[in-house]
Amino acid sequence: MLVLDGKIAAAAVKVTLLEQTQALKAAGKRMPHLAAILVGNNGASETYVASKVKNCEETGFGSSLYRMDADVEETVLLAKIAELNQDPNCDGILVQLPLPKHIKESKVIEAIDPAKDVDGFHPVNVGRLVQGLNTFIPATPYGIILMLEHFNIETKGKNAVVIGRSNIVGRPMSILLSSNIAQGNCTVTICHSHTKNLKEICLGADIIVAALGVPNFLTGDMIKPGAVIIDVGITRVEDATAKKGFRIKGDVNYDEACAKASAITPVPGGVGLMTIAGLLKNTMKAYQGL
């Protein structure tokens, strides 16, 4: 069984990006710059944003982190986005989700200049993705495609099941897997909370992408021998025996899945690292003018 190690695949992406930034530096040009906005002090978001900043440094990118209190007014956040939209030295803007309930996420996403929307959530970029046009692909699905490419996972003609239909992962993932691209051309089924006979559907899948946020949801008896399993889940589960008081769990029962799968992503160390790789690739595309 092949472990789809995000550390290995992400490192390959970062090496290529570092070569690009070094060439830019040698030519006397400015570096790509990513601006991140973090509202509140959500622990998972703090960790994730810190990792993004670190990865920017490792690839030669510039980065800025703007922190705002959890009770910040929506107008203040929108004003900051407007400022960054006009900043010629800022190539990519991301607002870390989730946001406090008093702030409307869709309004914030739509406020970002589509040309700087490196998270790929703006309706303009989503529309371009659906039409197969050059665009910013949401970072997690993009990272998964990059991982499949790195490990030469064959997708053409395969049956793929995506569990979860969020705008962040499930929907764009289904579009990419069904698209006429190197790591696409699958026949895709999207499953969700109202899907009947989920187990039977999964047992017919050559590729399963689990992206619903329920720890250990996908069990071994739902996987056919030889399937490729992509675990997008990353949930903090309380564990008094763990040093931090919690453990990170994926949507897949890893031990059971390993007995069936031909390839699988670990959690942690899998898709999460590729999400950042996808974000960095998008930032470079933004710098280059897409």
The residues carrying an active-site annotation are 52, 96, 119
Could you give the CA distance from residue 172 to residue 123 in angstroms, rounded to a whole number?
12
**CB distance 180 to 216 below 8 Å:** no
Could you give the CA distance from residue 170 to residue 6 in angstroms, rounded to a whole number?
19
Could you give the CA distance from residue 232 to residue 275 in angstroms, rounded to a whole number?
10
Read off φ and ψ for residue 17, nearest 5 degrees: -65, -40
Buried b (16+ CB within 10 A) or exposed e, 114-134: bbbbbbbbbeebbebbeeeee
Nearest of 1, 2, 4 to residue 277 by alpha carbon? 4
**CB distance 129 to 135 below 8 Å:** yes
